[in-house]
């Protein structure tokens, strides 16, 4: 994928950057530009939402000056190539000098804009910048119909839909991890939730329902329900029956936790922002033959079918989560039917290889 230049937040640590783009281009000669270095990215996420205004100014400055340098370099070398922008070049507001450089690059190159969240709702992209990228991109890649609907009708013909997927599990033998899951299944049902700290509020809201589900599971089958939270910040919650295990996120740790868990979960409230979510957690879980339970919100509705897991309506959360966990915990043969169907659906609709082929074709245009 030569003569390709990619702009993203952080190539290794930002989930949207890594799973949308880095995993397909890391073994190529494409130029991958991380707007924020690893050390600053980790520092910022340790600060969370409580960072001081000065910290926010500093982070914005890092974005501005690093991307300015990348754009100037591309001005000198990129001709008839492909430039891919993940979400934004600079969040909140793209400076005028960046706009001028980008317009020049757009005149000489094929521009692809990729985003996988409602970046208008979370205000990482201003309405003016959203229109700017819509206008100067040759192709716009999104994860679902809802995000496509955010694009102005005059630019909507540029849009293509590509779900986010995970190729990290391709080398694993399912026979081995099924044996581990089976040995645990008789005494413990392990839920797993893999995410960044920005999603902690979603899982926190679900803890009372999961605690009730844990009580019911123990009463009816003597099995313990545990929740493994794989995140860059711990989940702080009080429970009576549910056991919460906090595990600091790293890519390898997340892989191992998913391999050995029984059920992957993705609770969401119903908001304009969450309706733009691409269901990526669910797809990750499916890649390791794991049944899933997710909220009946947005793209989750297209990912989850009756043979791979359960969708829970937000107005029937407590009983819905209880029933879903009971159904997937009842007996091993039933569990295996769901697990195998989850992997089959991943292979058919969310294959890493299909996504890689998609990007290779894009970069040959």
Structure confidence by residue, pLDDT tens digits, 179-188: 999 999 999 9
- Domain extent listing, the chain: 4-165+351-364, 174-349
Residue 240 in this model has a pLDDT that exceeds 80: yes
For residues 294, 191, 255, 177, the Cα torsion angle rounded to the nearest 10 degrees is: -120
CB 103 within 8 A of CB 95: no
Residue 332 in this model has a pLDDT that exceeds 70: yes
Query: Rounded CA gap, 245 and 268, in Å?
Result: 20
Question: Closest Cα partner for 74 from 12, 133, 6?
Answer: 6
Please report the pLDDT score of residue 20 as a whole number.
Answer: 96
Query: Rounded CA gap, 339 and 242, in Å?
Result: 23
- Which tokens is 359 given? 């990007």
Query: Rounded CA gap, 43 and 76, in Å?
Result: 32
Please report the pLDDT score of residue 143 as a whole number.
Answer: 94
Contacts of 177 (CB under 8 A, 6+ apart): 259, 260, 288, 289
In the chain, the N- to C-terminal Cα span, in Å, equals 11
Neighbour-count burial for 308-330, b at 16+ CB within 10 Å, e otherwise: bbbbbeeeebeebbbbbbeebbe
DSSP secondary structure letter of residue 49: G
CA angle, 83 then 89 then 90, to 5°: 170
Give the pLDDT mean for 21-34.
Answer: 94
- The average confidence (pLDDT) of the chain is 93
Contacts of 29 (CB under 8 A, 6+ apart): 1, 2
CB 48 within 8 A of CB 42: no
Please report the pLDDT score of residue 323 as a whole number.
Answer: 94
Topology classification of domain 4-165+351-364: Rossmann fold (3.40.50)
Q: Tens digit of pLDDT for each residue in 285-311?
A: 999 999 999 999 989 999 999 999 999
User: Strands of 4-8's sheet, edge to edge?
Assistant: 31-34, 4-8, 82-86, 110-114, 139-142, 159-161
Residue 48 in this model has a pLDDT that exceeds 70: no
Q: How many CA atoms lie within 13 A of 170 on its CB side?
A: 10
Question: Closest Cα partner for 186 from 160, 161, 222?
Answer: 222
Give the pLDDT mean for 230-249.
Answer: 94
Please report the pLDDT score of residue 184 as a whole number.
Answer: 95
Please report the pLDDT score of residue 267 as a whole number.
Answer: 94
Give the pLDDT mean for 168-185.
Answer: 87
CB 39 within 8 A of CB 14: no
Highest mean pLDDT among 118-122, 130-134, 216-220, 346-350: 130-134
Please report the pLDDT score of residue 45 as a whole number.
Answer: 78
Query: Rounded CA gap, 155 and 46, in Å?
Result: 38
Pairing of strands 82-86, 263-266: unpaired
Please report the pLDDT score of residue 1 as a whole number.
Answer: 58
Please report the pLDDT score of residue 198 as a whole number.
Answer: 85
Residue 75 in this model has a pLDDT that exceeds 90: yes
Q: Tens digit of pLDDT for each residue in 80-98?
A: 999 999 999 999 999 999 9
Residue 44 in this model has a pLDDT that exceeds 90: no
What is the phi/psi pair of residue 294, to 5°? -140, 160
Give the pLDDT mean for 58-62.
Answer: 95
For domain 174-349, give the CATH number.
3.40.50.2000
Residue 51 in this model has a pLDDT that exceeds 70: no
Residue 99 in this model has a pLDDT that exceeds 70: yes
- Which tokens is 28 given? 């190529």
314 confidence band (pLDDT: 50, 70, 90): confident
């Amino acid at each position: 994928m030569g003569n390709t230049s990619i702009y993203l937040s952080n190539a290794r640590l930002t989930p949207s950057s890594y799973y949308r783009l880095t995993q397909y281009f890391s073994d190529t000669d494409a130029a991958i530009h991380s707007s924020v270095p690893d050390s600053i990215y980790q520092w910022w996420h340790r600060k969370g939402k409580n960072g001081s205004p000065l910290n926010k100014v500093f982070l914005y400055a890092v974005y501005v000056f690093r991307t300015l340098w990348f754009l100037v370099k591309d001005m000198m070398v990129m001709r008839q190539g492909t430039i891919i922008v993940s979400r934004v070049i600079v969040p909140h507001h793209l400076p005028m000098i960046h706009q001028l450089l980008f317009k020049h690059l757009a005149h000489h190159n094929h521009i692809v804009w990729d985003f996988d969240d409602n970046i208008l709702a979370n205000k990482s992209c201003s309405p003016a910048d959203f229109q700017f990228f819509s206008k100067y991109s040759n192709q716009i890649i999104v994860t679902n119909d809802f995000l496509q609907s955010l694009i102005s009708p005059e630019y909507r013909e540029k849009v293509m839909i590509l779900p986010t997927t995970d190729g990290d599990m391709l080398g694993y033998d399912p026979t081995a991890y099924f044996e581990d899951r089976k040995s645990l299944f008789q005494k413990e049902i392990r839920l797993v939730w893999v995410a960044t700290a920005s999603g902690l509020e979603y899982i926190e809201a679900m803890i009372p329902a999961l605690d009730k589900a844990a009580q019911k599971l123990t009463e009816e089958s003597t099995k313990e329900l545990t929740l493994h939270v794989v995140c860059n910040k711990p989940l702080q919650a009080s429970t009576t029956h549910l056991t919460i295990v906090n595990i600091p996120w790293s890519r390898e740790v997340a892989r191992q936790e998913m391999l050995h868990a029984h059920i992957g979960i993705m609770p969401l409230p119903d908001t304009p922002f969450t309706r733009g979510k691409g269901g990526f957690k669910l797809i990750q879980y499916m890649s390791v033959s794991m049944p899933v339970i997710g909220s009946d919100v947005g793209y989750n509705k297209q990912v989850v079918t009756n043979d791979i897991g359960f969708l829970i309506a937000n107005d029937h959360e407590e009983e819905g989560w209880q029933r879903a966990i009971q159904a997937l915990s009842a007996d091993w043969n039933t569990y295996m039917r769901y697990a195998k169907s989850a992997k089959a659906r991943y292979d058919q609709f969310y294959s890493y290889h299909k996504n890689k082929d998609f990007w290779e074709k894009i970069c040959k245009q």
